[in-house]
Amino acid sequence: MVKRETLLEMFYLMVKVRRVEERLLDIFAQGRIPGFIHVGIGQEAVAAGVCSQLEPNDYIFTTHRGHGQAIAKGIDLKRFMAEIYGRRDGYCKGKSGSMHIACKEMGVVGSNGIVGGGIPISLGTAFASVWKGEKRVTVCFFGDGAANEGTFHESLNLASLWNLPVIFCCENNGWAQFTPQKVYMKLENISARAGSYGMVGVTVDGDDVLKVYEEAKRAIERARKGQGPTLLECKTHRWFGHFAGDAQKYRPAKDIEEARGFDPIVKFQRFLIESKYINPEYIKTVEAKIKSEIDEAVSFAESSPVAGEEELFNDVYV
């Protein structure tokens, strides 16, 4: 059985990711953030179930919809927020924004704006772990849409061939931008592809954090023991549009409504209360703690100076 401490940590992470993204939608709508953002509201169980059991020096690769995984991996919310605001105190000096956040110290190797672009790079950190005789694992997150990129095929084959310690975590939210899965793929379960690479593949209910946790645990253990990669497909639901501000005109209202019915936080919270791990008072405390963390992060970000012109020419070359 999962330890109480871990359960509470996952609950905290899920609520934190949700509230951060809700706040981001809010401040984005007010025009306070440059560029554009993609939120994963409704998908929090995947990030929490996987990242809560990673070591700080394990590696993760994320996507354009990567806030949740980075937060769950343990990055500092203040510097994360400052980065999204494009400010100097951000993790990448304000040069990455929402879509390209990276944090070396916490093993967030990089988020990627190219669908499937991070998958081949994740082979490299896994390769380096083996090379150095370290036990660090790599988790490469990507979407259902990314599973149709050629990089998916090349990378899964090579990872399996070389037994690399990587978990390919496909966060299947049923949509690739404005197109639902059944329109672009005959398969129902993307994990079915794993067999063709000689790799273990599993599909789990990605809205059930305990199930995600359980399968991720197996995959991580296999990787740490040198038993090779896993394709872990987590079926979840995207509540909002592809990007913040997307009115989802292409999507039936019923589908959106149904997606919200799978709320992973509601589900987990019910379990925790019924099993007497927490009570409504506890939830209030967690919410209050998270609210103050977010307030602090936002004011930190807003008071950090905007990246200046002197940064324009920095970091093109060493």
Partner 1 sequence: MKEIRYIRAITEALSEEMARDEDVFVIGEDVGGPGGAFSATKDLLEKFGEKRVKDTPISESAIVGLAIGAATQGLRPVAEIMFMDFLTVCMDQIVNQMAKMRYMFGGIYKLPVVIRAPCGGGLNAGPQHSQCLEAWFAHIPGLKVVMPATPYDVKGLLKTSIRDDNPVLFIENKALYAFKGEIPEEEYLIPIGKADVKRKGRDVTVVATSRMVHQSLEAAKSLSNEGIEVEVIDLRTINPLDKETIFQSVEKTSRLVIAHEAVKAFGIGAEIAAMVCEEMIDCLDAPILRVGAPFVPVPFNLENFYLPNTEGVVQAVKKVMAY
Query: Rounded CA gap, 281 and 202, in Å?
Result: 37
157 CB-contact burial (10 Å; exposed 0-12 / middle 13-18 / buried 19+): middle
Asked if 255 is part of the footprint of partner 1 (rule: CB under 8 A), the reply reads: no
Query: Rounded CA gap, 209 and 272, in Å?
Result: 12
Query: Rounded CA gap, 192 and 188, in Å?
Result: 8
Residue span 143-182 as binding mask against partner 1, x where in contact by CB under 8 A, dash where not: -------xx--xx-xx--x---------------------
Residue span 101-140 as binding mask against Mg ion, x where in contact by CB under 5 A, dash where not: ----------------------------------------
Binder among 128, 192, 266, 288 for partner 1 (CB under 8 A): 128
| Nearest CB to Mg ion, comparing residues 43 and 269 | 43
Asked if 137 is part of the footprint of partner 1 (rule: CB under 8 A), the reply reads: no
Q: Name the strand (E) or helix (H) holding 220.
A: helix 209-224
Residues 210-239 that bind partner 1 (CB under 8 A): none
Asked if 121 is part of the footprint of partner 1 (rule: CB under 8 A), the reply reads: yes
Binder among 122, 138, 173, 230 for ligand TPP (CB under 6 A): 173
Q: Which stretch binds partner 1 (CB under 8 A): 41-49, 95-103, 225-233, 281-289?
A: 95-103
108 close to 67: Cβ distance less than 8 angstroms: no
Structure tokens at 63: 């996507």
Asked if 50 is part of the footprint of ligand TPP (rule: CB under 6 A), the reply reads: no
State the amino acid at position 269 in one-letter form.
Q
Give the count of alpha carbons within 13 A of 109, CB side only. 21
Asked if 177 is part of the footprint of ligand TPP (rule: CB under 6 A), the reply reads: yes
Place of tokens 């002197």: 310
173 close to 143: Cβ distance less than 8 angstroms: yes
Q: Name the strand (E) or helix (H) holding 240.
A: none
Question: Which residues is 87 bridged to in the sheet?
Answer: 306
Residues 51-90 that bind partner 1 (CB under 8 A): 90
Asked if 315 is part of the footprint of partner 1 (rule: CB under 8 A), the reply reads: yes
Contact residues for 118 (Cβ-Cβ < 8 A; gap 6+): 61, 62, 63, 109, 110, 111, 112, 140, 142
Asked if 306 is part of the footprint of partner 1 (rule: CB under 8 A), the reply reads: no
Asked if 146 is part of the footprint of ligand TPP (rule: CB under 6 A), the reply reads: yes
* Residue count (the chain): 318
290 CB-contact burial (10 Å; exposed 0-12 / middle 13-18 / buried 19+): buried
Place of tokens 């993307």: 190
Binder among 83, 144, 215, 263 for ligand TPP (CB under 6 A): 144
Binder among 124, 205, 214, 282 for partner 1 (CB under 8 A): 124
Residues in the site for partner 1, rule: CB under 8 A?
90-96, 100, 102, 104, 109-110, 112-114, 117, 119-129, 131-132, 150-151, 154-155, 157-158, 161, 314-318
Residues in the site for Mg ion, rule: CB under 5 A?
143-144, 173, 175-176
Residues in the site for ligand TPP, rule: CB under 6 A?
63-65, 113-115, 142-146, 173, 175-177, 242
